[in-house]
Amino acid sequence: MSKLLVIGGAGYIGCHMVNQLLKAGHDLVVLDDLSTGFENAIVEDDIRLVIGDVGDRRLLDSLFSDEKFDGVLHFASLIQVGESVVEPARYYRSNVAKTLTLLEAMVEHDVGPLIFSSTAAVFGEPEYSPIDEAHPQVPINPYGASKYMVERMLEDFDRAYGLKSVALRYFNAAGADPEGHIGERHDPETHLIPLALHAVLGARPPLKVFGRDYPTKDGTCIRDYIHVTDLAEAHLRALEYLWAGNPTTRFNLGNGNGFSVQAVLDAVERVTGQPVPYEDAPRRAGDPANLVADSRAAKSILGWNPRYADIDTIVAHAWAWEQKRVKLT
Ligand code: UDP
């Protein structure tokens, strides 16, 4: 059993990670400021939830002095591309400056290794597809740039201070805990699958399909949807990789299968048995036509294999969660 600090453990991906780490028998402390996460996403009562800011150096000093952690997983960040263009200062403060404070505290207290949540947005407009780790990194918005900057810091912190880390670039995290206890919740919600399901439930206006004039088969954007439980599994594998003494690196995480917006809507109709109310809308700024991961490195080096790669399964788990949420509220 290892003791781990999960920063941002009350958020969508973080709470699925917490679930999986507990199942693997680890001892956890969750640090979350609850700015976008939800306290009741932590469904187990035996976890210590510290409500606080990852940029609060005093808090980090006291956490790292109180307990000896075997690793840190850092999920806490702002994630909206459009917002990052309008408010870059907030993004660089939250995603870069606060992470720098965390890295400094980890070095000072000799805590490690670190698993860092990165994103496909570090690549910018794809030059080829699927995107492997060698693809040039030219982020086209402050969100992607903020994650790219941290990736650079991680390399430099390893070289200078020996802090070991793995950055995991998520493509489109989707789905929900197969047991149905937790699922996706954002406020505001901007992601395709929950928005389509909410439209089916009549809880939101019809879904806007952002662009049908992309150079893809059906004209809608193609994304690589990866089940959140598979994502969490990759973090466990990455921790084991670092604990085994392997070097700092980064991996792209996706299913390797792209689905168009229309293909996702078709899956939603198959799973729910109901049509998705939608209307066609102009393109959303900053959306590349096609974002698909080449995850062969994660598979071969980490021994990771997505279990829920099928889009209908991803949508079915999200649907089970949404129906439960409706009953809860
Ligand atoms: N999308 C859409 N309507 C929506 C939300 C998303 O057509 O209301 C499209 C979006 O343009 C993109 C895909 O669905 O092509 C996935 O978007 P999402 O926001 O879920 O993830 P992103 O790819 O931006 O990380």
pLDDT digits (tens, 9 = 90+) for 128-184: 999 999 999 999 999 999 999 999 999 999 999 999 999 999 999 999 999 888 888
Report yes or no: 137 and 124 within 8 Å, Cβ to Cβ.
yes
| Predicted confidence (pLDDT) at residue 296 exceeds the cutoff of 70 | yes
For residue 113, whether the previous peptide bond is cis, meaning omega lies within 30 degrees of 0, is yes
Atom 10 of ligand 1, residue of closest alpha carbon: 210
192 in contact with ligand 1, CB cutoff 6 A: yes
Distance, CA of 119 to CA of 224 (rounded, Å): 12
| Predicted confidence (pLDDT) at residue 321 exceeds the cutoff of 90 | yes
pLDDT digits (tens, 9 = 90+) for 205-249: 999 999 999 999 999 999 999 999 999 999 999 999 999 999 999
Would residue 247 be called left, alpha or beta, if left means φ above 0 and alpha means ψ between -120 and 50 degrees? Answer: beta
| Amino acid 287: pLDDT | 86
Q: Which of 143, 148, 214, 241 is catalytic?
A: 143
38 in contact with ligand 1, CB cutoff 6 A: no
Atom 16 of ligand 1, residue of closest alpha carbon: 192
The question of whether 143 is a catalytic residue gets the answer yes
207 in contact with ligand 1, CB cutoff 6 A: yes
Largest Cα separation within the chain, whole Å, is 56
Element (H, E) at 30: strand 27-32
pLDDT digits (tens, 9 = 90+) for 175-214: 999 988 888 888 888 999 999 999 999 989 999 999 999 9
What percent of the chain is modeled with pLDDT above 70? 97
Q: Work out which ligand 1 atom sits closest to the CA atom of 195.
A: 8
314 in contact with ligand 1, CB cutoff 6 A: no
255 CA distance to ligand 1 middle (Å): 17
Distance, CA of 95 to CA of 101 (rounded, Å): 11
Q: Work out which ligand 1 atom sits closest to the CA atom of 119.
A: 25
Distance, CA of 189 to CA of 186 (rounded, Å): 5
| Amino acid 114: pLDDT | 98
Domains of the chain (ranges; CATH) run: 3-173+226-253 (3.40.50.720), 192-223+256-328 (3.90.25.10)
Report yes or no: 199 and 277 within 8 Å, Cβ to Cβ.
yes
126 CA distance to ligand 1 middle (Å): 17
167 in contact with ligand 1, CB cutoff 6 A: no
> Residue 204 has which token pair?
């939101």
What percent of the chain is modeled with pLDDT above 90? 87
pTM of the model: 0.95
Q: Work out which ligand 1 atom sits closest to the CA atom of 283.
A: 11
Distance, CA of 11 to CA of 245 (rounded, Å): 29
In our burial notation (b when 16+ CB lie closer than 10 A, e otherwise), range 311-320 reads bebbbbbbbb
